[in-house]
Structure 1
Amino acid sequence: MEKSMRILEAVAAPGGPHRLTDVVAAAAVPKSSAFRILASLTEQGFVRPQSGSRYGAGPRLRALSALVSGGEPASIGRILGVLRETVGQTVHLALHSGQSLTYIRKLEGDQPFRTASRVGMRMPLHSTAIGKSILAHLPEEEVRALIESAGLPRRTPKTLTTPGALLAELEAVRDRGFAVDDEENEPTIRCIGAAVLGPDGHPIGGVSVTTVTFLVSREEIEAYAPALLAATEALAPLL
């Protein structure tokens, strides 16, 4: 445990991503042990490997940091606030973490209802708008591996529970640039979501606009897509 914590501290130090040799030196952990620990932390989403045998903070570590600090850079809050004011609905920011995503920010909409989601909640990828937008930007072999590992559990009668149906939906997500959760994760809840991409095109996380089916139609929520996509593009350099 102590070795893992020292390695996490070394990876999270300013100036990253850090070379393996620098992580080993900073953490004072033998190289063979460090490599095994980094592999485990990578699998769990706390560390993200980079080119050139370098390691940086992974999405799960970033989510944990946001939970501890109770916030994020003001510019992130401003971008999400503009989106919330534009659409008038609840807005979520989540980071990708292994087989799931983790909400790190939630702004309630100007509506007479409250959703059950909360900061720190982990959600599945296959049945949520953010999750499907993330999957759409992963290689198909990685998506199939996630399906094999986590399965496609049915959350509602509308959940996509077969690999073929999900892969076809991900193709549609790529075509239109955003995903739709039309009561697939929770009854009466309708969302659209789009991925936030890193410099290498890999999905870091995503943003969603959430409402309820009895107030906002699918056509109406899809009309929020331009504002949603503008927000994800603005957030990309900040995550």
Structure 2
Amino acid sequence: MDSPTQPREVQATKTSFRLIEAIQESGGAGVSELASRLDLAKSTVVYHLTTLERQEYLVQEGSEYHLGLRFFKLGQDAMGRRLPDAARKKVKDLAAKTDAEADYSVEEYGYIVLLYDQADSSAEPGFKTGSHHRMHNNAAGKAILATWDDSRVDEYVTQVGLPTRTEHTIGSRAELLEELAQVREQGYALNDEEYMRGYRSVSMVVDDADGGVYGALTVGGPSYRVSRETLQTEFRVPLAQAVDELRTELESSYPR
């Protein structure tokens, strides 16, 4: 039952978004596939798909529906709100200085969202621009989690359950809290093949004087050329410099 202090959710709207997400995950899908996958009546699926197509959010190709380019404009607008030009420039500069992959990410709804990525020609990109990642299995996520108090971290743990991706991924609350305490002490977070095997990175938050967080800058690369020592020595210094410079620019241009 809905709380008297909370507005009710519209189930039809939720169904439309479930269909949109299923189409995105499948790379295109037909009515029967969607009805079976989401346990919906075919007639319900048809009504929603027809409405979304007429609003130009879906396109039909043969028997399959695909996302329309209207989503591209919405995504650009959403990204532009959280990705200042100064962050793009710092990412490019950081990638050039370290000869590695650099990126800028923000947190939203318990996910790390990669907004901008720049890799030197010799680097191997580990993530994709626009991708969403759980926070406990990567450097940017842990850097931002370390700015939260334990009660908020507990809410995150309850929400996601700390699923593991590799044998190095943090899988328990105690381990996560211990890691975050270390991040707070040293001022940076490491990803040592925790999101995927063969990739390491180091990240720092870009915060303001009041403790608010704009996002996180990260630099990393394939483990065959980036060791933990490389992260903590060669990469950490230019990363810290880039964070300080970006913080100054954002505080003057985007006061919180």
TM-score normalised by length of structure 1:
0.68
Structure 1 position 154 matched with structure 2 position 164: yes
**Aligned counterpart for 1:189 among listed residues 196, 199, 202:** 199
- Report the Cα distance in structure 2 between the residues aligned to 1:141 and 1:179, rounded to whole angstroms: 20
Task: Measure how far apart 1:99 and its partner are.
Answer: 1.0
Structure 1 position 75 matched with structure 2 position 120: no
* Correspondence for 2:23: none
Question: Residues 124 and 222 of structure 2 are in contact (CA less than 8 Å); yes or no, is this contact kept in structure 1?
Answer: no
Structure 1 position 167 matched with structure 2 position 173: no
- Report the Cα distance in structure 1 between the residues aligned to 2:142 and 2:163, rounded to whole angstroms: 14
Question: Residues 125 and 135 of structure 1 are in contact (CA less than 8 Å); yes or no, is this contact kept in structure 2?
Answer: yes
**Aligned counterpart for 1:108 among listed residues 119, 133, 137:** 119
**Aligned counterpart for 1:213 among listed residues 218, 223, 229:** 223
SS of structure 2 residue aligned to 1:126: helix
Question: Residues 208 and 228 of structure 1 are in contact (CA less than 8 Å); yes or no, is this contact kept in structure 2?
Answer: yes
- Report the Cα distance in structure 2 between the residues aligned to 1:67 and 1:107, rounded to whole angstroms: 20
Where in structure 2 are there 5+ consecutive unaligned residues?
9-73
SS of structure 2 residue aligned to 1:159: coil
**Aligned counterpart for 1:84 among listed residues 91, 95, 103:** 95
Structure 1 position 232 matched with structure 2 position 237: no
Pair 71,150 (structure 1): closer, same or farther in 2 beyond 3 Å:
closer
Q: Which has the larger radius of gyration?
A: 2
Pair 151,88 (structure 1): closer, same or farther in 2 beyond 3 Å:
same
Question: Residues 143 and 205 of structure 2 are in contact (CA less than 8 Å); yes or no, is this contact kept in structure 1?
Answer: yes
Pair 68,124 (structure 1): closer, same or farther in 2 beyond 3 Å:
closer
How many residue pairs were aligned? 181
* Correspondence for 2:19: none
Q: Deviations over 1:61-107 (max 9, x none)?
A: xx945666599544332222221121111001011112111111000
Task: Measure how far apart 1:199 and its partner are.
Answer: 4.2
**Aligned counterpart for 1:118 among listed residues 119, 128, 146:** 128
Question: Structure 2: which amino acid aligns with 1:79?
Answer: K
Question: Residues 192 and 200 of structure 2 are in contact (CA less than 8 Å); yes or no, is this contact kept in structure 1?
Answer: yes
* Correspondence for 1:128: 138
Percentage of matched positions with identical amino acids: 23
Question: Residues 81 and 107 of structure 1 are in contact (CA less than 8 Å); yes or no, is this contact kept in structure 2?
Answer: yes
Structure 1 position 94 matched with structure 2 position 94: no
Q: CA RMSD in A?
A: 2.6
Structure 1 position 138 matched with structure 2 position 151: no
Task: Measure how far apart 1:221 and its partner are.
Answer: 1.6
TM-score normalised by length of structure 2:
0.64
- Report the Cα distance in structure 2 between the residues aligned to 1:116 and 1:212, rounded to whole angstroms: 8
Where in structure 1 are there 5+ consecutive unaligned residues?
1-31, 38-62
Question: Structure 1: which amino acid aligns with 2:173?
Answer: P
Question: Structure 2: which amino acid aligns with 1:186?
Answer: M
Question: Residues 66 and 72 of structure 1 are in contact (CA less than 8 Å); yes or no, is this contact kept in structure 2?
Answer: no
| Greater mean deviation of Cα atoms: 65-74 or 129-138 | 65-74
SS of structure 2 residue aligned to 1:158: coil
SS of structure 1 residue aligned to 2:136: coil
Question: Structure 2: which amino acid aligns with 1:202?
Answer: G
* Correspondence for 1:180: 190
